[in-house]
């Protein structure tokens, strides 16, 4: 019998297995005694001593491509249209901000749209 059956099926206790024959039969059929160890393996990779982390990676920033938006795609209605029919996420990229110490070539902002699949890829990875 499992030491802690709640690890396999949430909410099941050792007492449940002893008192309920249906639960005991389920555990016997699906979790054999040799399978008492957790199902995952530890994947610990050795760190490369020559690896140097750049600032972007240190702050969990990764590159994504985007497209410039036209001024006619400004506003809530246009943004909803981009999301719902085009699969694009609207956004704004700001340039330099001297007050915050953010360097850049221009203080302007740009309207952009990013494909939804890029956001989904990042969500799936992290």
Q: What is the pLDDT of residues 34-76, one digit of tens each?
A: 655 555 455 555 666 665 666 766 677 777 788 888 888 888 8
Distance CA 70, CA 81 (A): 13
Contact assessment for residue 77 and residue 49, using Cβ atoms and an 8 Å cutoff: no
Structure tokens at 103: 């360097």
Under the banding of pLDDT at 50, 70 and 90, the label for residue 2 is: low
Contact assessment for residue 86 and residue 64, using Cβ atoms and an 8 Å cutoff: no
Distance CA 119, CA 122 (A): 5
């Amino acid at each position: 019998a499992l030491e802690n059956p709640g690890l396999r099926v949430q909410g099941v206790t050792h007492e449940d297995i002893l008192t309920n024959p249906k639960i005991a039969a389920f555990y016997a059929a699906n979790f054999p005694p040799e399978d008492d160890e957790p199902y995952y393996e530890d994947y610990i990779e050795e760190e490369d001593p020559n690896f140097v982390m750049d600032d972007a990676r240190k702050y969990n920033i990764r590159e994504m491509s985007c497209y410039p938006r036209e001024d006619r795609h400004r506003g809530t209605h246009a943004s909803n249209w981009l999301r719902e029919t085009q699969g694009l996420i609207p956004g704004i990229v700001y340039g330099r901000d001297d007050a915050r110490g953010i360097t850049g070539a221009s203080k302007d902002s740009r309207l952009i749209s990013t494909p939804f699949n890029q956001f989904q890829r990042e969500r799936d990875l992290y």
